[in-house]
Amino acid sequence: MEMENDLCEILITAKEIRDKVKEMGAQISRDYKGQNLLMMSVLKGAVVFLADLMREISIHTEVDFMAVSSYGKNTQTSGVVRIVKDLDTALEGYDVLIVEDVLDSGMTLNYLINILGERYPRSIKIAALLDKPGRRLEGVKLDYCGFVIPDEFVVGYGLDYCERYRNLPYIGVLKKEIYQKQ
Ligand code: IMP
Ligand code: MG
């Protein structure tokens, strides 16, 4: 298959993801029982994870989305983001769960939590499928984490390189020659 040739290894299989998402959903359902859960994602990477995770939630939940673009130049994220599409929901009184694909430096998320925290939610927590702790800023912590992975560039299950590979059903490590070609 064309896409598979661009990978040097499959890091997490579809089955491993499925089992983990089930487990996370069960835990979140227990923890949020009797609360006012709102699951939200930043487009687009986390959409696949959110779509699967929400179907493992056995209590009432609402879902919402927001789109952001990073300010500043080049590849180095400044963490300062511009909201391109805001949430439809006013957060007051909600127990907000931010659903993320991968937490890397945590800069973007750190900034988001500060913005969303000013909207009087009852609580804000973070669930991320992948955790790359290698380059983490201080002070960003995950409440729910799927897999801790090494500091390598991964694609699939929503994660992209140049908008491609999001549709792979598993998570793989992209060959260096693919992104060094550019
Ligand atoms: P942070 O602000 O450094 O935590 O950036 C996190 C964001 O960077 C994620 O939501 C992804 O969009 C992107 N990202 C970080 N690592 C990877 C990766 O290995 N593959 C694809 N996207 C990644
Ligand atoms: Mg992203």
Strand 171-174 vs strand 154-155: parallel, antiparallel, or unpaired?
antiparallel
Ligand nearest to C-alpha 105:
1
On the question of pLDDT at 24 being above 90, the answer is: yes
Better pLDDT: 140 or 181: 140
Residue 9 counted as domain residue? no
Please check whether residue 37 lies inside any domain of the structure: yes
What domain range includes position 82? Answer: 15-150
> Is the residue at 1 inside a domain?
no
Q: Which of the residues are catalytic? A: 104
Q: Is residue 61 one of the residues assigned to a domain?
A: yes
* 81-115 pLDDT per residue, tens: 889 999 999 999 999 999 999 999 888 888 899 99
What is the C-alpha separation between 137 and 79, in angstroms, rounded? 11
Largest CA distance in the chain: 52
The answer to whether residue 100 is domain-embedded is: yes
* For ligand 1, atom 19: residue with the closest CA: 153
Q: pTM of the prediction?
A: 0.93
Number of domains in the chain: 1
Residue 173 CA to residue 123 CA, distance in Å, equals: 34
The size of the chain, in residues, is 182
Residue 181 has pLDDT above 80, yes or no: no
Mean pLDDT of the region 44-51: 97
Mean pLDDT over each residue of the chain, to the nearest integer: 92
Q: What is the DSSP string of 120-150?
A: --SEEEEEEEEE-GGGPPTT---SEEEEE--
Position 161 in a domain: no
CATH of the domain at 74: 3.40.50.2020
Q: 122 pLDDT exceeds 70?
A: yes
Question: Is 104 touching ligand 1 by the criterion CB < 6 Å?
Answer: yes
Is there an atom of ligand 1 within 6 Å of 128 CB?
Answer: no
Judge whether 22 lies within some domain: yes
